Structures are given as C-alpha cells and as structure tokens.
Amino acid sequence: AQTVTQSQPEMSVQEAETVTLSCTYDTSENNYYLFWYKQPPSRQMILVIRQEAYKQQNATENRFSVNFQKAAKSFSLKISDSQLGDTAMYFCAFMKHTGTASKLTFGTGTRLQVTL
Amino acid sequence: NAGVTQTPKFQVLKTGQSMTLQCAQDMNHEYMSWYRQDPGMGLRLIHYSVGAGITDQGEVPNGYNVSRSTTEDFPLRLLSAAPSQTSVYFCASSPTTPRGYEQYFGPGTRLTVT
C-alpha cells in the first residue's frame, strides 16, 4: 500500500514571496503519477500540477513548480510570486500507473495562508 | 459540459436513515470514484468503478453501497446513517487515456448525521 505524508499542517507566506510545500511518499512501485491539488474555501478540488515518475524533468505550470526526487521519494511544490488567491488547502496525491485510471492516495493536506 | 455534478450540496440525516448521494458526469469518463474528506485526514477512497457494471471497494467502504448502471451516473448509498459518516463527500471521474489520468472532482456534498 502507498502512503503520502505532508508534514506541514499550516504555512503562511507574504504576497509576492515564494513558498515550498513538502510531500513525501512511500511505495514499492516504479511507475506512478504524483499530483498536487488545491482546495480553496469553495471546497472545489483543483488540479495544480502533475508529475510522471518516469520523467526526470520537474513539472512546471506558470508560478507552480515541483521538485521531484524519486530516490528520496519526495515531491515538493514551489509557489512563486504568491497571490492572495493561492490561499487554500493543498493536497499531495499518489496514483499507481496501471495502464488506466486508478485510485488516488492523498496526504492530509497543508493549509496555506497568503498575507498582505 | 457540466463536468461532474453532485446532489445535494448539503444534507442532514438522523441516525439510521438511508439516502443516496447522486453523482453524474457528461465527459464520457469510464473511471468514477467516491471519496470522503474528514478534518486532518485528507480524502479517502470509498468505492470506485472502472466502467458500467464494474465496481470495487476502496479504503473505507463499510456502510456504503454503489452501483454503476450507466457510464454517466455513480450513486453512493448510505444504508443506515451513523454519526461517523458525517463528512464531506466528493465524486470524481477520469478518462482512461494516457493524459496522466487527471481526476475531475465534483463540488462535494456536506453530510451531517445527528
């Protein structure tokens, strides 16, 4: 079974600054996907970024980037130029690569507050 | 496309009552799933389906029942509600094509069992 650990329950960052959210996971699988989801106060789950484990290059999406360290089983999310709209819960998630869609295993989340 | 829709948005039940949470998607996704979200525990998988007529249990299936008669619909039934089932419930769907299998989530149903 896979486990996903987010060791930072809460974090705070000032607007325009950079913040990094941590995520580690445990798996015996070699092929898998990793995701970061954002959940703002509206409760909607929004995909932020996705990483395929077989790709060495770290994924980036505008102000969001990841630091994927496969050997260390680490998958951190960096948010650059933080904006007030980034205030949300952030969940790290793992999906085994089965050749089709499969279940997500989530971490417990990090609550990020962006302040003025 | 409406995406993934869930009804109702809020529900209060008494212990022992039964009800069905509805989930529908109009994206022709084969994979659908139900999660529950509790404070401090992230989202946990209840049941999932890889296509019409096929369902399987997730991490926390006890007290819940599902069926998948069509590709579009994946209802979640609470057989006899208990206070431990107070939670926010999310339905999600995903295509089964190699695009990273992004799961699309519905807006959630907040359920309170008294």
Distance, in Å, from the CA atom of B51 to the CA atom of B31, rounded to the nearest integer, reads: 6
pLDDT attached to residue B63? 96
**In Å, how far is A62's CA from the nearest CA of chain B?**
18
Statement: residue B25 has pLDDT above 80? yes
pLDDT attached to residue A99? 67
User: A7-11, A90-94, A102-106: which has the minimum mean pLDDT?
Assistant: A102-106
Statement: residue A95 has pLDDT above 70? yes
Residue type, B14: K
Task: Give the sign of the dihedral formed by CA B21, CA B26, CA B27, CA B31.
Answer: positive
pLDDT attached to residue A102? 77
Statement: residue A98 has pLDDT above 80? no
In contact, B63 and B85? CB cutoff 8 Å = yes
Residues of A in contact with B35 (CB under 8 A): 104, 106
DSSP per-residue letters across A6-51 = ---SEEEEETT--EEE--EEE-S-SSEEEEEEEE-TT---EEEEEE
- What mean pLDDT do residues A71-95 have? 97
**Which pLDDT band holds residue B99 (cuts at 50, 70, 90)?**
low
When scoring A2, A44, A104, A106 by the number of chain B Cβ atoms within 10 A, the one with the most, hence best to mutate, is A104
pLDDT attached to residue B96? 73
The chain B residue lying nearest A105, using CA atoms, is B44
**In Å, how far is B31's CA from the nearest CA of chain A?**
6
DSSP class of residue B60 equals S
- What mean pLDDT do residues B83-108 have? 87
**In Å, how far is B43's CA from the nearest CA of chain A?**
6
**Which pLDDT band holds residue A75 (cuts at 50, 70, 90)?**
very high
When scoring B23, B41, B101, B111 by the number of chain A Cβ atoms within 10 A, the one with the most, hence best to mutate, is B101
In contact, B91 and B16? CB cutoff 8 Å = no
